[in-house]
Amino acid sequence: MDWQAFSLSIELAVVTLLVLLPFGVLAGRWLARTRFSGKAWIEAFVVLPLVLPPTVLGYYLLVSLGAGSPLGRWLLDSFDVRLTFNFAGLLIASLVFNIPFIVQPVQRAFEAIPENLAEAASVCGLTDWQTFWRVELPLAWPGILSAMVLTFVHTLGEFGVVLMMGGSIPGETRTVAIAIYDRVQSFDLAGADRMALLLLVLSLGAVAASFFASARLVARR
């Protein structure tokens, strides 16, 4: 069992979630509440990471952020910052790859809230911020919770983008999915077996728990 890879995956998933959650909630709510002519294009870009092969996405990230690209060169020259083959690069890849997993369920959750509840809240004297905290967020919470679990589990298991952007540097970019691949390549099927099983149990458990929690939250209404 490669515990180093495992803890790196957990760390990546937690940081991805922490960064993506506020963005996802704001973006999802904005998409749910506004209508404008170019909205379909923005929604298409949100879904793109879901339909694009991970290697394609990783490739574009690599060529646009790598040291050979204008942006990558500028970051390296000005700030001595490198965004490929390290944890920062892994995080950027993970953030982009997870956008649809957080934004879409959150958007659906906010869309499901009747618009007149926000109106009723404003007539009751609530500011927009109070309406968000006291009405919209509690009602959208089951959707937000499942978005969080999906993003977390998805980050644990992501492979293609991570490999393109990070390679397989132990302790730096070798996540559990890459470690499993490496074990299989070196014919260590027993090692791969244990890690794959752990990932399977963890993912299934997290998703099932979020479904149970959502169902309970919805039933309480």
Residues that bind another protein (CB under 8 A): 114, 116-117, 119-127, 130, 134-135, 138-139, 220-221
Name the residue nearer to another protein (CB basis): 71 or 112.
112
CB 145 within 8 A of CB 209: no
CB 206 within 8 A of CB 126: no
* CB of 33 vs another protein, minimal distance in Å: 15
Name the residue nearer to another protein (CB basis): 76 or 118.
118
DSSP readout, 98-111? HHHHHHHHHHHHHH
How many other C-beta atoms can be found within 10 angstroms of the C-beta atom of residue 220? 6
* CB of 104 vs another protein, minimal distance in Å: 22
* CB of 42 vs another protein, minimal distance in Å: 25
Name the residue nearer to another protein (CB basis): 115 or 193.
115
Q: What span, in angstroms and rounded, lies between the C-alpha atoms of 96 and 177?
A: 18
Name the residue nearer to another protein (CB basis): 103 or 140.
140
Q: What span, in angstroms and rounded, lies between the C-alpha atoms of 24 and 29?
A: 8
CB 136 within 8 A of CB 145: no
Name the residue nearer to another protein (CB basis): 51 or 221.
221
* CB of 212 vs another protein, minimal distance in Å: 18
CB 111 within 8 A of CB 43: no
Q: What span, in angstroms and rounded, lies between the C-alpha atoms of 101 and 122?
A: 31
* CB of 95 vs another protein, minimal distance in Å: 31
